Amino acid sequence: MASTASFRILKKELLNVLKQMQRVEKSAKKKLSTLEVTIIDNYLQLAIPGIQLNINAATKGSAKYTVWLWYFDDIIKAEQDNTLHFELTENRLGLRTLSFPVMTTFFQTDSILRSINLPLNYNEIDLAKLLLSGKYTDEEIVFNNLDKEATDTMRRINKDISKIVSSMKKYGFKRSEVEDLILNKLTNKNKT
């Protein structure tokens, strides 16, 4: 059985929500936000780092997809109809005769739909805490296009740990002690 979901929404309302998100994105240091859209019973939840908004929609099925915010906005602006009907299939989102690639995941119930919560101008510490928290699965991190950034962050942390170990070895510090100190700080186990 193929996984599908669909939603019908007024173009004007969707554009208003996307406009709010773009205003938030403009104030962010990092541009080109990934838009995460969650299809839930009778509404959509739209999220980018720094903002999450809900909008009423006629929905069928429970799913989530990600797409570049600017790309999705361009598609909506180009559409002539006032009411938009979207069909979501495995890694594709369709709007009338147009179909474009998106990352998708489908759910049997709404209870497991989670958005990754990052601040607007998130940094390496935020990404490291996100990874080390164990709160999100690898699939959720990949789904939100954070995998490369998160991997690069962890690589830099390991490189920095090696530098600290090299400097502190003469004082009797072991790698495990330095790692514990830094990882405890990043996971907030040591609340100082």
For 108-149, what is each residue's pLDDT tens digit?
Answer: 654 345 677 788 788 888 888 888 877 777 777 877 778 888
Alpha helices in 27-92 (DSSP H): 69-78
- Statement: residue 50 has pLDDT above 60: yes
Nearest to 107 by CA among 40, 58, 37, 52: 40
CB 78 within 8 A of CB 72: no
Residue 1, classified by CB atoms within 10 Å of its CB into exposed (0-12), middle (13-18) or buried (19+), is exposed
* Helix axes of 147-168 and 124-133: crossing angle, nearest 10 degrees: 100
Is residue 171 exposed (0-12), middle (13-18) or buried (19+ Cβ within 10 Å)?
exposed
pLDDT band at 12 (very low <50, low <70, confident <90, very high): very high
- Cα–Cα dist 185/21, whole Å: 32
Give me the mean pLDDT over the 16-26 stretch: 91
How far is residue 78 from each of residues 51, 98, 108, 128, 181, measured CA to CA in Å?
Answer: 24, 11, 33, 38, 53
- What pLDDT score does 16 carry? 94
Tell me, what's the pLDDT at 192? 42
Pair of tokens at residue 37: 């859209």
Residue 1 pLDDT level (bands cut at 50, 70, 90): very low
Structure confidence at residue 128 (pLDDT): 85
Distance of CA 17 to the CA centre of its chain: 17
pLDDT at 123 (0 to 100)? 85
For 69-88, what is the mean pLDDT?
Answer: 94
d(CA 72, CA 179): 42
Q: Which amino acid is at 66?
A: T
For the segment 76-86, the average pLDDT, to the nearest whole number, is: 93
Contacts of 26 (CB under 8 A, 6+ apart): none
Q: What is the mean pLDDT of residues 54-65?
A: 90
* 29-40 average pLDDT score: 84
Q: Which of 154 and 109 is assigned the larger pLDDT?
A: 154
Residue-range domains of the chain with CATH:
5-118 (3.10.150.10), 123-192 (no CATH)
pLDDT tens by residue, 161-180: 899 999 988 999 888 888 88
